[in-house]
Amino acid sequence: MTKLGYILARDEIDVHSQGLDLQAAGMDEPHVDYVDNDLIERPELKALLAKLIPGDTLVVTRLGHLATSSNGAVSVIIRVAEAGAGIHAILDEITISPEDVRRASRIMEVLESIDTTSAPVAQVAPAAKPRFNLAGRPRSLTPEQISHARQSIARGEQTASSMARLLKVNKTTLWRALREETFLSVSDIP
């Protein structure tokens, strides 16, 4: 029932920061690997996983520090499960028992298999296409604002200039919107 610490770091500052957290959790000699684009195998993690026996706990500062990608983290969790060990992430405040690690790894395996066994993209129904292509600049006024402006101007409550100021647009923009809405509403009549 040993606790083994692991650090995946970019630089010495990372090692120091994660090392302090692990030291506070009782880890004296954590295994340290450095993130490197050329580094495919992480020798310290490989050595640590080889040391794990049932009942041990792999301790990291965060679950995200198990690997550089979610797929990598999943494979580490699966290897920990195969060893019968647990995982503890200090800052994430997550402790996963060996049984839970096995369950989680099984769930992850099933989820990964969905990607490989799902229907080909060609068999998936295409998304509905929009009826109108609304490319270009977004409208300055909403239909509700245009309707309100039309009613206020028609009732004599506002002038076009005062309504434009109220809506924080140019008077020409307001007139254009009023003209377009009239055009659209007239053309919609069967």
**With bands split at pLDDT 50, 70 and 90, how would you rate the model's confidence at 68?**
confident
User: What's residue 60's pLDDT?
Assistant: 92
User: What's residue 147's pLDDT?
Assistant: 87
Closest CA to 84 of 100, 98, 104, 105: 98
Residue 183 has pLDDT above 50, yes or no: no
Burial class (CB in 10 A: 0-12, 13-18, 19+), 114: exposed
Query: Of the given ranges (10-14, 61-65, 134-138), which has the lowest mean pLDDT?
Result: 134-138
User: What's residue 94's pLDDT?
Assistant: 87
User: What's residue 63's pLDDT?
Assistant: 84
Residue 180 has pLDDT above 80, yes or no: no
More confident residue, 82 or 190: 82
Residue 150, number of CB atoms within 10 A of its CB = 16
User: What's residue 131's pLDDT?
Assistant: 59
Q: Global pTM? A: 0.54
Q: How far is CA 86 from CA 41, 44, 58, 103, in A?
A: 22, 18, 6, 11
Residue 86 has phi, psi (to 5 degrees) of -110, 180
Quote the CATH superfamily of domain 3-114: Resolvase, N-terminal catalytic domain (3.40.50.1390)
| Domain ranges for the chain | 3-114, 143-187
User: What's residue 1's pLDDT?
Assistant: 76
User: What's residue 187's pLDDT?
Assistant: 42
Mean pLDDT (the chain, rounded): 79
pLDDT tens for each residue of 93-129: 888 887 887 787 778 777 777 765 555 554 555 555 5
Contact 96, 88 (CB under 8 A): yes
Query: Of the given ranges (15-19, 49-53, 180-184, 185-189), which has the lowest mean pLDDT?
Result: 185-189
